[in-house]
Amino acid sequence: MQQELQQLDAMLAQLAPKAREVFVLSQLEGLTYMQIAARTGLSDRTVKRYMAQGFELCLNAMC
């Protein structure tokens, strides 16, 4: 399990810091996009864009 977490951490390190924060807030803390936008001061559109980047990274890692 620890190895998998390290791999996930290394993968997410490829994202910009804000994109990584957004992805973690959504996937690990379960916040909605609107909650993330309010917490981070980002627009809803930017949150969606960062989430798309995170999901794309995950999908590419699975291939």
pLDDT, tens only, 23-59: 999 999 999 999 999 999 999 999 999 999 999 998 8
Domain ranges of the chain: 18-62
Residue 6 to residues 10, 18, 20, 34, 48, Cα–Cα distance (Å): 6, 19, 15, 29, 25
Quote the pLDDT of residue 44.
97
- Is 11 a residue whose pLDDT tops 80? yes
- Provide the pLDDT for residue 8: 83
Residue 54's pLDDT is what? 93
Give residue 9's pLDDT: 86
Rounded CA-CA distance 15/2 in Å is 21
pLDDT for residue 25: 96
